[in-house]
Amino acid sequence: MPKITAKTVAENRDLRESAILSAANTIAREQGLSHVTFSAIAKKAGIARTTVYAYFDSSADLIADVLIDELFEMNEHLAQRVQSAKSARAGVIAWISASLEYVNDGRHELLKSAAGVELPPVRRSQMQQLHRAMITPLMQALTELNVKQPQTVAMQISGVVDVSVRRLANGGDLNEEIAATTAFVLNGLAAFTSAR
Cβ neighbour number for residue 131 with a 10 Å cutoff: 15
Higher local confidence (pLDDT), 59 or 142: 142
Maximum mean pLDDT: which of 2-6, 90-94, 103-107, 109-113: 90-94
Cβ neighbour number for residue 80 with a 10 Å cutoff: 13
Q: Check: CB of residue 57 under 8 Å from CB of residue 138.
A: no
**Is residue 116 over pLDDT 80?**
no
Could you tell me which residues come within 8 angstroms of residue 23 by beta carbon, excluding any fewer than 6 positions away?
40, 41, 44, 45
Q: Where are the alpha helices (DSSP H) in the chain?
A: 9-31, 38-45, 49-55, 59-83, 88-104, 108-112, 121-132, 136-144, 150-169, 174-188
What's the distance, CA 2 to chain centroid?
A: 33
**Is residue 95 over pLDDT 80?**
yes
**Residue limits of CATH 1.10.357.10 in the chain:** 58-191
Class of domain 1-56: mainly alpha
The CATH architecture one would assign to domain 58-191 is Orthogonal Bundle (1.10)
Q: How much is the average pLDDT of 146-175?
A: 94
pTM to 2 decimal places? 0.80
pLDDT of residue 5: 59
**Is residue 57 over pLDDT 90?**
no
Give the burial class of 68: count Cβ atoms within 10 A of its Cβ; 0-12 exposed, 13-18 middle, 19 or more buried.
middle
pLDDT of residue 2: 46
Distance separating alpha carbons of residues 161 and 189, to the nearest angstrom: 15
**Residue limits of CATH 1.10.10.60 in the chain:** 1-56
**Is residue 13 over pLDDT 80?**
no
